[in-house]
Amino acid sequence: MSVLNLLGKIIPPPTYMQLPSAGVDISDTSLKYIQFQPDKRSGTQLELSYWGDIDIPEGALERGTVHDVQKLSAAIAEVKERSAVETVRVSLPEERAYLFETEIKKGTPFKEIRGLLEFRLEENVPLPPRDALFDYDIIPTDDTNDSLRVAVTAYAKETIMVYYHACIDAGVTPISFEVEAQAIARATIPDGDKGTHMIVDFGKTRTGIGIVQQGTLMYTSTIDIGGDKLSSVLRRQLGEIEESELTQIKNTQGLVRAVNNTDVYDALLPTMSAVIDEVRTRVQYWNSRDISREEHHIQSVILCGGSVNMKGLPEYFSEMLGISANRADVWQNAFPGFDQVPEIGRRYSYGYATAVGLALTPFA
């Protein structure tokens, strides 16, 4: 759900919209970027033109709140320096998003929809309407329904403008801003999929949760546990070990109980149990909203993020939730039906899911 209409009076209008642009995924600790362009040989396929990972100085962002615009702008400027990109599509933190679902009468003129939704902001968002920016998606319904379901995403205007000015100061034009989970869905859920899926973005400092139905983001939340927490509990169990070695231990032993030594499994299990408890609560909440409609229930869990390589993680999620869980294929919509092997290795690709989804926007 991109915030395109929000900035119509700020960003130069739609001549930019179809230009290939870099997807820029901003987290508290790093910035990942990707840009696609049409393959000159085929004219129909895409090719990966630029990609990379840039550290963001500690303290510049915290839980999506920008504390130092200059440091964030410097990281974005480095994207431009590396790739010569002029336009970007930027992720917004899930922690700052407000999502709600509402209905409007079928046949309502398009030009009146936004005005109707503005009246409903006050009922659903703890912000004065004048201080909020929002966008919406209309969810397909059958022809017998007299109403249209509408999914609305809103942000504080101040939040968006901070990211906007960081981009402008870096010398690039932001074309759109989008919730991380919606961008991940564009990359990882097959085109045309009508099901309901949970996205679990297992990052360095936190775990993002998104629920997507018929391709539209309907729910999002954050769990304050990420890969750093797992490293901490391993250090308490195994002693002071370099982060690179801890990553290797997580990826090769992880949640699989060893025959002769269960130290790693025993150290990780309490923290991962806390994550599963939080995820299960959200699954139960969502599924209980409409018990009668089985298609409304979560059908699969899509795992992505930089910390998702831990051995046994999909199997653990599947067993504990009773729902099929798999690591994402972040390239399936970028390179459908082709044998192209991207330069980014599979293990690293999970951390680029948001950036891939953002960069795919003009080609979707």
3-class secondary structure for 291-312? Answer: CCCHHHCCCEEEEECCCCCCCC
Tell me what pLDDT residue 261 has.
77
One domain for residues 177 and 309: no
One domain for residues 326 and 336: no
346 lies in some domain: no
Neighbours of 69 (CB within 10 A): 15
Of the listed ranges 11-25, 98-112, 150-164, 280-294, the least confidently predicted one is 11-25
152 lies in some domain: yes
One domain for residues 252 and 175: no
Contact 24, 51 (CB under 8 A): no
Of the listed ranges 11-20, 216-225, 334-343, the least confidently predicted one is 11-20
Q: State how far the alpha carbon of 30 is from the alpha carbons of 72, 164, 340, in Å.
A: 10, 18, 27
Q: State how far the alpha carbon of 55 is from the alpha carbons of 14, 48, 290, 313, in Å.
A: 31, 21, 43, 26
User: What is the SS3 assignment for 360?
Assistant: coil
Of the listed ranges 13-17, 78-82, 175-179, 301-305, the least confidently predicted one is 13-17
Of the listed ranges 154-163, 243-252, 261-270, 340-349, the least confidently predicted one is 340-349
Tell me what pLDDT residue 342 has.
78
One domain for residues 364 and 275: no
Within the chain, residue ranges assigned H as helices are 69-83, 110-124, 157-169, 180-188, 227-238, 243-252, 263-288, 313-321, 346-349, 353-359
Q: Total domain count for the chain?
A: 2
216 lies in some domain: yes
One domain for residues 113 and 42: yes
Region of 214 (left: φ > 0; alpha: ψ -120 to 50; beta: rest) is left
Task: Give the pLDDT confidence of 252-304 residue by residue, as tens digits.
Answer: 999 998 878 789 999 999 999 999 999 999 999 999 887 556 668 999 999 99
One domain for residues 204 and 173: no
One domain for residues 179 and 196: no
- What pTM did the predictor assign? 0.91
Confidence of residue 141 (pLDDT cuts 50, 70, 90): confident
Tell me what pLDDT residue 340 has.
65
Domain that holds residue 112: 1-189+332-341+351-364
Contact 88, 172 (CB under 8 A): yes
- Among 225, 230, 186, 227, which residue's Cα sits nearest to residue 209? 225
